[in-house]
Amino acid sequence: MFPDLAIMVFAIPAVLFAGISKGGFGSGAAFAAAPLLALVIEPAMAIGLLLPLLMLVDAVSLRFFWGGWHGPSAVALMLGALPGVALGVWFFQQADADMLRLLIGVIALLFVAYQLGRNLGWLKIPHMDFRWSTGLLTGAVIGFTSFVSHAGGPPAAIFLLAQGLRKGVYQATSVIVFWFVNIAKAIPYAMIGLFTRETLVLDLWLAPVAVIGALLGVKAHHVVPECSFFAITYVLLVGAGCKLIWDALT
């Protein structure tokens, strides 16, 4: 069975980009795949399509960063994510397609605003020592945003970067946390019907793209400046976010 060409034109670069992001630059920019796919297919289908591929990228990336994470942060975020995932299940059952488009579009623009503010020096992340309470609360936010739009990366980045973690430790912690969160999302996704025959067939076609992206990301982690990679993310997210908001409101 050959997939729809129009879907693949968007899906291949989106999945490749997500793989590179998760494999080498944390999980923040991987969120860009969801808005891009939601431009051509229903948001729920886009989210369901992406999860098995993100889990595959997690599995590939994990072996390269195994054991390098900050243990207390990883545990706090993973435990906190569970009630966030539960809240995401409830929200998803209430939301229609336009509400999901609006949410994904708004999150996309907020992500760009946050990143630009930080990079331009308008927004400072104060140093913060690890606290269990903050980690658990951040984990809940991660669980919810990850469930409804695969957008758990930005809150994770704020929490981890505020502690001044080294790049490798930050990346390893991000990988292990989202490996766990994505596994926690899989059963609820199946229960509410986000996995379909069509999405699983597309996943089989896109699996090699996800693996290639993850391996490229691991390599790029050591040689490509983050600012260059994220500049592409901003352009994609602004365009996709504005289009999704427009579609949701008109």
What is the pLDDT averaged over residues 226-249?
A: 79
pLDDT in tens, 148-160: 888 888 888 888 8
Q: Which of 81, 148, 140 is nearest to 108 (CA)?
A: 148
- Who wins on pLDDT, 75 or 129? 75
Average pLDDT, the chain: 84
State the number of CA atoms in the 13 A half-sphere of 23 facing the CB: 26
Q: What pLDDT band is residue 92 in, cutting at 50, 70 and 90?
A: confident
What is the pLDDT averaged over residues 48-74?
A: 87
What is the pLDDT averaged over residues 88-97?
A: 89
Burial (CB count within 10 angstroms: exposed 0-12, middle 13-18, buried 19+), residue 249: exposed
pLDDT in tens, 64-89: 778 888 899 999 999 999 999 999 99
The model's pTM is: 0.84
Share above pLDDT 70 across residues of the chain, in percent, rounded to a whole number:
92
Query: Measured between alpha carbons, how far is 141 from 109 in angstroms, rounded to an integer?
Result: 17
Share above pLDDT 90 across residues of the chain, in percent, rounded to a whole number:
30
Cα 148 → chain centroid = 10
- Who wins on pLDDT, 215 or 132? 132
What is the pLDDT averaged over residues 221-234?
A: 66
Residue 2 pLDDT > 60: no
The tokens for 158 are 């704020």
The alpha helices in the chain, defined as continuous H runs, are 5-24, 33-38, 43-65, 71-94, 97-119, 132-149, 153-161, 167-191, 197-223, 226-249
pLDDT in tens, 172-182: 898 899 999 99
Residue numbers of the domain that contains 29: 5-249
Query: Measured between alpha carbons, how far is 183 from 169 in angstroms, rounded to an integer?
Result: 21
The domain tally of the chain equals 1
- Determine the pLDDT at residue 59: 85
